[in-house]
Amino acid sequence: MLLLNATFEPLTALPLRRAVVLVMCGKAEVVHGDPGGNELHSAKVSLPVPSVIRLSTYVRVPYRAQVPLTRAGLMHRDRYRCAYCGGRAETIDHVVPRSRGGPHAWTNCVACCAKCNHRKADRLLSEIGWRLRVVPRAPHGPHWRLLAHSKEADPLWRPYLGSAA
């Protein structure tokens, strides 16, 4: 579920349970329901399953200049593909190993399959003759954090996320 501020700017993606609690407590309203028309039922209330909700009151959000490095964010950046062979990524690899002074940063970490990670081990790419398929870089954009939590954004989110979706 996408949570919007009172001004319709995106804040975060949240689980269905949290979205329903916000709507039921009157702190948010449903902007878009589930495209399939699904509803949640209780003994006395029927509520459409929300896809996008909006807070009733404005919340000030502090600005962060850098996107924090997380496993989910890294996998999303690399589209769950191994940086060496292009297969399905399961692990994270440091291009310059940390044991050799490589930093734990967006520009030194890539998604990697277990086989390539094991074969590369504690070596530099030049030592084994490998090349990266794509040069790693830090993600940017105002709504990038939102997309890192879900494999694919709901099509109903696109008007609120702009070009990031």
For 90-118, what is each residue's pLDDT tens digit? 999 999 999 999 999 999 999 999 999 99
One domain for residues 76 and 120: yes
One domain for residues 124 and 75: yes
pLDDT at position 40, please? 84
One domain for residues 58 and 17: yes
pLDDT at position 36, please? 76
Residue 149: inside a domain:
yes
Question: Which residues does 93 contact at the CB level (< 8 Å), separation at least 6?
Answer: 83, 109, 110, 111, 112, 116, 117, 120
Q: Please identify every stretch of the chain with a pLDDT value under 70, giving residue numbers as ranges.
A: 64-65, 141-154, 158, 161-165
Considering its fold, how many domains does the chain have in total? 2
Q: Are 69 and 77 in contact (CB under 8 A)?
A: no
One domain for residues 81 and 109: yes
One domain for residues 59 and 75: no
Domain, as residue range, for 35:
2-63+142-164
Does the global pTM surpass 0.85?
A: no
Find the largest Cα–Cα distance for the chain: 67
pLDDT at position 165, please? 45
The CATH number linked to 113 is 1.10.30.50
pLDDT at position 97, please? 96
Q: How many Å apart are CA 22 and CA 151, to the nearest integer?
A: 24
One domain for residues 80 and 113: yes
SS3 sequence, 42-63?
A: CCCCEEECEEEEEECCCCCCCC
